[in-house]
Amino acid sequence: MAAGGSYSMVEYFGGDGGYRCGYCKHEKGNFSHGMWSHTMTVKDYQDLIDRGWRRSGKYVYKPTMNKTCCPQYTIRCHALNFHPSKTHKKTLKRMNKFLSKGERPVEQNDVGHEGEPMDSMHEGVHPPPQDPLKIDLTDVEDIFTSPDPNTDTKSTTSSTSREDAAPVQADKTSNDAPKPGKGADPSRPLCRKAKDIRKERRLQKEQQKQQATSSIPAPSKSASNQPKLLEEFISEFLPNDPLHRLEFKRFLCDSPLEAESAPDGPDMGYGSFHQQYWLDDRIVAVGVLDILPSCVSSVYLYYHPDFSSLSLGTYTALREIAFTRQLQKQSPKLAYYYLGFYVHSCPKMRYKGQYRPSDLLCPETYVWMPIERCIPRLEISAYSRLNEDAKAGDAHALKDMGRALVLHRRTVMPYAAYTRKRKGSNDEKEVEQYASLVGQTCAERILLYRA
């Protein structure tokens, strides 16, 4: 029974048919199990996402990992140990320059929330696994220009490395074909690629620096030599009177999650929240977050396309990690930031692995594995049992289906009592599939609606 005497209640829809994949666009390659959540406690949802489930609105789905064309692995970042990468630092510096001086960078690739393909919804009870971290709403720009806007969008651009393009030279004074030569001069060294020459020069400079500093004694470690915290990068170089002001506001949003509070929980309580980003009294982005007992889970983000050059996807992800760290001071168990699904088979979705240290969820044992140990396996096969222990199993595997709770005619009862009451019931296979997917613990807490 959940805190406050409330239950989670779901309707299970199965998941045998194939649907269009939003990642590789395979028309029938996407397979997932789904259920409609009429209500959900934060504890039950925490346990479900730790078994590979994910919500899109009130629809909760679980990819059929060994069958779907693009396996989606639940990914979490260790918020307390997170250190921003060079790309993350650049994003924060760009934002701070814009806030302090109004300097807006040119359009460029983003590696935060951006880069995810949109998944189109399909008719029927099995919508495809819409990735929760990103929904592009560039077609609803009028919402942002309304007096009380509440939305935002994401977009990406592509770039080509100059090193990949061979220089082309043309003779503007003659159309004659070049005269045949005598071939390579064996007395001269072979031509070398420019990038190889640059690499060698960098190595030489590094060696010279090491030689120059080898005789200088290393300074003792002090607080000034420690790497900067994420929070320091967020506020770095911001003056007391910046040209622009970025503010944050939070409020509850529609969700199947029941709002809850606990003595050892965060001050704002658990549940689903909109986190608004206001720039000079104008809303520019909105993120939807689920605050759960062990994590902050990013559901999706949308932002105004006029500000895409500020890499708002990356910036808001970093702010959400910092927010997770803030909440952990109030609730010690709340230490992770969930980014939704990591899809290694889709290159545009690999950016989520850059928020490290991070783990992927093993689809067979539901044990978290460091992403560095998972990547080699995923390079070989899109689907992989990530747990390296061959003897490990699912600690919450279904053992007694009869103890699964069902709701029938407004009465809560174990499934065993339901079958005795409903002699000749033919739903045993469906209930067993559902209970296996949610696990024994959740099956004994969540109410499965039976007509």
Residue of 349, 376, 436 lying closest to 33 (CA atoms): 436
Q: How many residues does the chain have?
A: 451
pLDDT above 50 (res 243): yes
User: Which pLDDT value is given to residue 224?
Assistant: 55
Angle CA 48–18–113, to nearest 5: 55
d(CA 250, CA 158): 33
Angle at CA 196, nearest 5°, toward 193 and 200? Answer: 145
User: Do 277 and 285 form a contact (C-beta atoms < 8 A)?
Assistant: yes
Q: Residue 437: pLDDT band by 50, 70, 90 thresholds?
A: very high
Q: What is the bridge-based pairing of β-strands 358-361 and 447-450?
A: unpaired
H or E segment to which residue 246 belongs = strand 246-252
DSSP H/E element including 94:
helix 86-101
Task: Enumerate residues 6+ apart whose C-beta is below 8 A from 142.
Answer: none
Contact (CB, 8 A) for 429 and 386: no
pLDDT value of position 250: 58
DSSP letter string, 107-119: P----SSTTPPP-
Q: What is the pLDDT of residues 262-295, one digit of tens each?
A: 999 999 999 999 999 999 989 999 999 999 999 9
- The structure tokens 């977009």 sit at 155
pLDDT of residue 25: 94
pLDDT for residue 445: 98
